[in-house]
């Protein structure tokens, strides 16, 4: 397996990628652990990502990795987190902004940025990726990614990016999976290793080695080999049971052959039961809690069943089972099959009590020690369906606000199941509306249409608008633009009587965009104007309860309307719409939306009025930086540089391009880096 750094590219060390594929219990985890053990104490850093930590919310396996590296957890005291922040700034030279975003992401603390949730998510994820890139490039590293096929899409994409980066960095990536998540990807530095079950000779050799010193009849040995089917995990458990003379043993103490018809699951359950039988109560309880919780911190295990001060002994006794591993003060099962068997052996009453205890323990801190999705699943299993429904709904709202719409549809579905169990029709209606909105935002018109069927009997306000948008989404996916527009036009015509302002806004915006794509600019402008009026009306009606989301809605509508007017060469009308909207966002204190409007105002100025463009762009950049929206700031800095170059202020332009390049690098915007670099080179070539 290529884990060493024996390859060089123009003098630079280069890593390699190995994808280890094999069925459950065949030895993937043991193989990767052997690699990690072999590298321990060497100059090569070894980092582990556990794909089983994946949740519906994106990047959780990598969040856990960063938590392990930094030594922080959700629910940690602010003092602890601040010490880590200082260390990152002073010892590693990471900028303060990136430190804050990174730590807020991995600890789930409330963001310090005055931005809408979707921009916060974008900023935090980019800080996470930047930190990982910097950490992995700082020294030769082997990144071990276990159970990759269990990960969410974003984690798989990040893993793929790191695998590709290994072609130019001193980084090797080892990936284990049951089925290859990248079957179509091939490169010269990638090795695929398929682990198969052991053949009969190897299985027999393993059993004989494990039962050395015992007299095992050949027929019993043959049947044990046959029963284990060459799976190393089963062979290991079988040999342990044989050493305890509790498996394949007759009442008189002689070995016997097992029934060939014995169900594999039942056999594994028997082996697990034998291994647990003589363990101390504390050890059994800890093993059970680990099976319930997945990865269980030692603090949780001690809270549930105290080891009476003998923590190291209890941990050692748990490790002796061969089922669990322990690192970074967290105990977890190595094999999901064994974990499932252990979980099935816990009495139902005890299982409910354990789930309830874990949920309560996770909720003891602010923020909680785990994401809402995890807590909600324990609440359901612990019998608190109402708490679970509320937790799922809160998590779905957070995902939707961060524009993780596909993930949100999944969690909304779980919330609906919980409310269905409670027979709360009002909540079911609310959740069905939200899930339909999430499907539409995710571009899945067909699923939105299907979800609408659950809403028909409730007849909620805004149903006509949802139905029209779903129909339009399906029609648009089939390139039936006329049907899509007609559906929305009908809903728009009846909006005053049938829809609330938010639903009306959504219909008008969809309609305006469709008409714009069809080239019907006049009709599109009419609906865009209605959108802006509605956006302002919604914000005004909420008064002091208005949020940054309301400001972003105004900026979205004004930007679209000004775009239409600029394309029809009515620059003064475009500026009027933007200036009016700017006043409203200023009242809301929404600096990010204000910067967006100012940037558009700079673009909407007449070509000969460069001074106005420069003034608007400078103010836009200042507000974007103050709000912490680095992507917007990078875009604005590039435009500002262009205005400065046009006015022959070349030194100022070069400074703007340098800032744009730095910001683009910070957020991983490769095109922005190229644009800034190219523009600066053009100035240098012209001046020389």
**pLDDT tens, position by position, 91-141:** 777 888 899 999 999 999 999 888 999 999 999 999 999 899 888 888 899
The secondary structure of the chain in percent helix, strand, coil, rounded to multiples of 5, reads 65, 5, 25
- Residue 496 has a pLDDT of 78
Asked if residue 367 has a cis previous peptide bond (ω within 30° of 0), the answer is yes
**Is pLDDT at 151 greater than 90 in this prediction?**
yes
When pLDDT is cut at 50, 70 and 90, the band that residue 6 belongs to is very low
Identify the burial level of 544 via C-beta atoms within 10 angstroms of its C-beta, where 0-12 means exposed, 13-18 middle and 19 or more buried: exposed
| DSSP letter string, 272-333 | HHHHHHTS-HHHHHHHHHHHHHSSEEHHHHHHHS--TT-HHHHHHHHHTTSSEEEETTEEEE
Nearest-angstrom CA–CA distance, 586 and 572:
21
Mean pLDDT over 142-154 rounds to 93
pLDDT tens-place string over residues 171-208: 999 999 988 888 877 777 788 999 998 999 999 999 88
Q: What is the pLDDT of residue 256?
A: 58
Question: What average pLDDT does the chain have?
Answer: 89
How confident is the model at residue 225, as a pLDDT?
Answer: 85
pLDDT tens track for 273-314: 877 877 899 999 999 999 999 889 999 999 999 987 789 999
The owner of tokens 């680990």 is 290
- Residue 246 has a pLDDT of 59
Are 515 and 540 in contact, with CB atoms under 8 Å apart? Answer: no
Q: Give residue 168's pLDDT.
A: 84
Cα–Cα distance between 619 and 602 in angstroms, integer?
10
Judge contact between 29 and 334, C-beta under 8 A: yes
Phi, psi for residue 684 in degrees, rounded to 5: -60, -45
What secondary structure, in 3-state letters, does 118-168 show? HHHHHHHHHHHHHHHHHHHHCCCEEEEEECHHHCCHHHHHHHHHHHHHCCC
How many C-beta atoms surround the C-beta of residue 606 within 10 A?
11
Q: How many CA atoms lie within 13 A of 465 on its CB side?
A: 24
pLDDT > 90? residue 556: yes
Neighbours of 609 (CB within 10 A): 11
pTM, rounded to two decimals: 0.85
How confident is the model at residue 8, as a pLDDT? 47
Instruction: Name the pairing type of β-strands 141-146 and 171-177.
Output: parallel
* The pLDDT of residue 13 is above 90: no
**The two structure tokens encoding residue 362:** 């996770």
pLDDT band at 3 (very low <50, low <70, confident <90, very high): very low
At 265 the pLDDT is 40
Band of the pLDDT at 440, cuts 50, 70, 90?
A: very high
Q: How far apart are CA 30 and CA 277, in angstroms?
A: 25
Contact predicate 34/132, CB 8 Å: no
* Averaged pLDDT for residues 517-535: 95
CA distance 566 to 573: 8
Lowest mean per-residue pLDDT among 117-121, 306-310, 416-420, 662-666: 306-310
Q: What is the CATH number of domain 7-195?
A: 3.40.50
At CB < 8 A and 24+ separation, what contacts does 620-623 make? Answer: 620/594, 620/595, 620/596, 621/595, 622/595, 623/591, 623/592, 623/594, 623/595, 623/598
Query: What's the pLDDT at 500?
Result: 84
């Amino acid at each position: 397996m290529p884990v060493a750094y024996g390859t060089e590219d123009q003098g630079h060390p280069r890593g390699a990628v190995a994808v280890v594929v094999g069925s459950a219990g065949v030895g993937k985890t043991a193989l990767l652990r052997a690699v990690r053990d072999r590298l321990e104490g060497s100059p090569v850093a070894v980092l582990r990502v556990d794909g089983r930590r994946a949740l519906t919310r994106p990047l959780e396996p990598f969040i856990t990795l960063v938590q392990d590296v930094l030594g922080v957890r959700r629910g940690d005291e602010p003092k602890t987190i601040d010490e880590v922040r200082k260390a990152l700034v002073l010892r590693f030279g990471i900028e303060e902004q990136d430190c804050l975003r990174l730590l807020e992401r991995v600890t789930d603390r409330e963001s310090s940025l005055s931005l809408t949730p979707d921009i916060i998510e974008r900023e935090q994820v980019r800080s996470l990726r930047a930190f990982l890139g910097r950490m992995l490039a700082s020294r030769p590293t082997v990144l071990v990614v276990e159970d990759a096929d269990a990960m969410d899409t974003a984690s798989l994409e990040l893993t793929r990016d790191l695998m590709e980066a290994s072609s130019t960095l001193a980084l090797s990536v080892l990936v284990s999976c049951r089925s290859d998540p990248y079957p179509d990807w091939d490169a010269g530095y990638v090795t695929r290793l398929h682990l198969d079950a052991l053949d009969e000779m190897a299985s027999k050799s393993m059993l004989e080695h494990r039962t050395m010193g015992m007299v095992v009849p050949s027929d019993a040995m043959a049947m044990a080999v046959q029963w284990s089917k060459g799976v190393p995990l089963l062979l290991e458990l079988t040999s342990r049971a044989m050493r305890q003379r509790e498996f394949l043993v007759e009442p008189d103490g002689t070995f016997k052959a097992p029934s060939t018809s014995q169900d594999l699951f039942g056999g594994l359950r028997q082996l697990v039961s034998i291994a647990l039988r003589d363990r101390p109560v504390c050890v059994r309880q800890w093993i059970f809690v680990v099976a319930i919780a997945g990865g269980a911190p030692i603090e949780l295990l001690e809270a549930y069943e105290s080891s009476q001060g003998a923590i190291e002994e209890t941990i050692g006794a748990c490790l002796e089972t061969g089922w669990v591993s322990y690192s970074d003060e967290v105990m977890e099962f190595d094999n999901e099959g064994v974990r499932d068997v252990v979980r099935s052996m816990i009495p139902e009453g005890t299982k409910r009590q354990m789930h309830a205890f874990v949920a309560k323990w996770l909720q003891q801190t602010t923020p909680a020690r785990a994401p809402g999705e995890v807590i909600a699943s324990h609440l359901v299993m612990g019998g608190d369906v109402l708490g679970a429904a509320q937790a799922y709904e809160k998590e779905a709202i957070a995902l939707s606000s961060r524009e993780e719409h596909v993930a949100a549809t999944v969690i909304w579905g779980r919330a609906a199941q919980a409310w269905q169990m409670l027979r709360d029709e009002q909540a079911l209606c609310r959740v069905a509306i939200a899930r339909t909105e999430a499907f539409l935002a995710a571009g899945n018109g067909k699923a939105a249409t299907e979800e609408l069927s659950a809403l028909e009997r409730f007849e909620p306000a805004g149903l006509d608008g949802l139905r029209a948008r779903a129909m339009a989404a399906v029609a648009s996916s089939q390139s039936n633009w006329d049907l899509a527009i007609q559906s929305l036009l009908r809903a728009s015509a009846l909006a005053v009587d049938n829809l609330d302002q938010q639903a009306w806004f959504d219909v008008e915006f969809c309609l305006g965009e469709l008409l714009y794509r069809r080239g019907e600019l006049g009709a599109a402008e009419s609906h865009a104007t209605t959108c802006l009026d509605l956006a302002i009306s919604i914000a005004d009606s909420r008064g002091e309860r208005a949020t940054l989301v309301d400001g972003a809605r105004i900026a979205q509508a004004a930007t679209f309307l000004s775009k239409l007017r600029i394309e029809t060469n009515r620059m003064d009308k475009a500026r009027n719409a933007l200036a009016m909207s700017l006043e409203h966002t200023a009242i809301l204190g929404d600096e990010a939306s204000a910067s967006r409007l100012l940037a558009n105002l700079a673009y909407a100025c007449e070509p000969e009025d460069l001074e106005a463009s420069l003034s608007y762009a400078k103010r836009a950049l200042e507000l974007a930086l103050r709000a912490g929206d680095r992507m917007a700031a990078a875009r604005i800095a590039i435009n500002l540089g262009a205005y400065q170059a046009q006015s022959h202020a070349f030194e100022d332009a070069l400074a703007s391009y340098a800032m744009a390049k730095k910001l683009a690098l910070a957020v991983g915007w490769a095109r922005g880096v190229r644009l800034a670099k190219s523009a600066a080179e053009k100035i240098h070539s012209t001046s020389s």
